[in-house]
Amino acid sequence: MADVAFSICVYLGSRPGNNPLFTEAAVAVGRWIGQRGGQLVYGGGLSGLMGTVAEATRQAGGRVVGVIPEALVDKELANHLCDKLHIVNTMHERKAMMAERCDAFIALPGGIGTLEELFEVWTWRQLGYHDKPIGLLDIDGYYSSMLGFLQHAVHNGLMSDWQMDLIRTGAEPHALLASLVQDAGVNAETITLRSVI
């Protein structure tokens, strides 16, 4: 990643959703990354919010790296405009490669795939498999009910406050991204996650 200032892995929906604020957030995230000489690492598709963040990054001058399993090349419309498109065999390989190629993670609105990816890298962090910052972009209160439930889990003794402190939550894309890049530091060390998961 010597030719980019930082690398952000973005998790978000392969559908656009029905709230225009979600699309605006995806554009804002992509532009922020591109305008600052950063690299987007994402799921490699053209559809939905995924395609939106990739195109916004590309148009703003950022580098776009997509990682997509062969089984989803047609379903998620693989983005051949990526600077680098990795077509892998499995979802596990996809997620490990995405995690290895970034300095920080951010989740935007999405469905069960986005949630699964968010919770997996959060779990990996609590287990010490990586120490990269994780952000949750809560656009228009999309994640507020989920965060309330997680606090309910803490209240019931099934989670701890320190686990909640492993993610940073915000509603404003630029501020959250800036804090994640700052937390990651420059040239953050990468761990080979495929060796431990």
**Span 10-17, average pLDDT:** 97
CA distances from 190 to 65, 82, 100 (A): 16, 22, 6
State residue 186's pLDDT score. Answer: 52
pLDDT band at 51 (very low <50, low <70, confident <90, very high): very high
* 190 pLDDT above the threshold of 80: no
Q: What is the pLDDT of residues 131-149, one digit of tens each?
A: 999 999 999 999 999 999 9
Tokens of 42: 């994402």
Separation of alpha carbons 72 and 148, rounded Å: 33
State residue 193's pLDDT score. Answer: 60
Separation of alpha carbons 134 and 122, rounded Å: 7
Tokens of 63: 């580098």
State residue 196's pLDDT score. Answer: 57
> Measuring CA to CA, which residue among 176, 183, 194, 160 is closest to residue 33?
176
Tokens of 4: 């980019």
Separation of alpha carbons 182 and 163, rounded Å: 20
State residue 187's pLDDT score. Answer: 47
**Do residues 180 and 104 lie in contact, with contact meaning Cβ atoms separated by under 8 Å?**
yes
3-class SS at 115?
A: helix
Residue with tokens 């937390």, as numbered in its chain: 183
Q: What is the pLDDT of residues 145-187, one digit of tens each?
A: 999 999 999 999 999 999 999 999 999 999 999 999 999 985 4
DSSP string spanning 49-114?
Answer: HHHHHHHHHHHTT-EEEEEEEGGGTTTTTB-TTSSEEEEES-HHHHHHHHHHT-SEEEE-S--HHH
